[in-house]
Copies of this chain bind each other. A is one copy, B any other.
Amino acid sequence: MQSEPATRPPTGPEIADWVRQRIRTGRFVPGQRLVEVDIIRQTGASRSKVREALKRLEGEGLVEIEEFRGASVRSSTLDEVRQIYRARMALEGMAMHDFTARADPAMIARLQDLQDQLDACVQDRAPDRFGRLNNEWHRLIVEGSGNKVIADHLQRLNVPIHRLLFESFYDEERLKTANADHRAMLAMILAGDADGAERAMRTHIGDGFETLARIESEFYS
């Protein structure tokens, strides 16, 4: 980001992205304080923009701001992660319902294309690529539902997942079952079974939380 020192200074949302990314990849760990001056030095932004970005991230629940102590990366309890997943089940389930009901042929084609690539990842045991394609799959459903309000709220429901957890999230077993879920949902979409697709999405996300919880309990034992 600071490779070209002569470019325009970053805007507020860009700083927010920058911090978000660093939290996701584990360069900022839970509890770590986010000192404004450090972020200014590393990004070249002005203080107002940095403060604006931090406030935004506080709204997303990623950082915590205490008066006169500044921002620090929030560490969520397992129970809070459960609540986040519960909200995702509700919203993404609804998105799946509406996606199925609207069923644009072009969208379905894109979904099938993605599905083929996901199948390939399972065959090749490529968990990293699978993770990215998986994100795209979920985003496609949400965008395709045509509900921007739900899309907005889901964007703010990102779990502050640590790097170590992430790396072990997609073991071979999980990869297979997740992909099987995807294929089952695709079938229901093609059949126009909106209620069934919604239920499937909810259990799919619920299973994701179970997996995460299992890993976390192993991780801390």
Interface residues of A (CB under 8 A from B): 52, 55-56, 59, 61, 80, 83-84, 86-87, 89-91, 93-94, 98, 147-150, 152-153, 156-157
- Asked whether, in the complex, the Cβ of A94 is within 8 Å of the Cβ of B87, the reply is yes
- Subset of 21 A-B contacts with CB under 8 Å: A55-B55, A61-B149, A80-B148, A83-B147, A83-B149, A83-B150, A84-B149, A86-B94, A86-B98, A86-B147, A86-B149, A87-B91, A87-B147, A87-B149, A87-B150, A89-B94, A90-B90, A90-B91, A90-B94, A90-B150, A153-B156
Complex interface: chain B residues within 8 A of A86 (CB): 94, 98, 147, 149-150
Quote the shortest CB–CB distance from A115 to chain B (angstroms).
25
- Asked whether, in the complex, the Cβ of A148 is within 8 Å of the Cβ of B83, the reply is yes
**Which of A55, A90, A98 counts the most B-chain CB atoms under 10 A from its CB?**
A90
Query: How many copies of this chain are found per oligomer?
Result: 2
Complex interface: chain B residues within 8 A of A152 (CB): 61
Quote the shortest CB–CB distance from A13 to chain B (angstroms).
11
Per the bound structure, the CA–CA distance linking A100 and B93 in Å amounts to: 20
Complex interface: chain B residues within 8 A of A98 (CB): 86
**Which of A93, A153, A156, A157 counts the most B-chain CB atoms under 10 A from its CB?**
A153
Per the bound structure, the CA–CA distance linking A84 and B149 in Å amounts to: 6
Complex interface: chain B residues within 8 A of A59 (CB): 56, 59
Complex interface: chain B residues within 8 A of A61 (CB): 149, 152
Known: A84-B149, A87-B147. 16 other contacts (CB 8 A): A55-B55, A59-B59, A61-B149, A80-B149, A83-B147, A83-B150, A86-B94, A86-B98, A86-B147, A86-B149, A87-B153, A89-B94, A90-B90, A90-B91, A90-B150, A153-B157
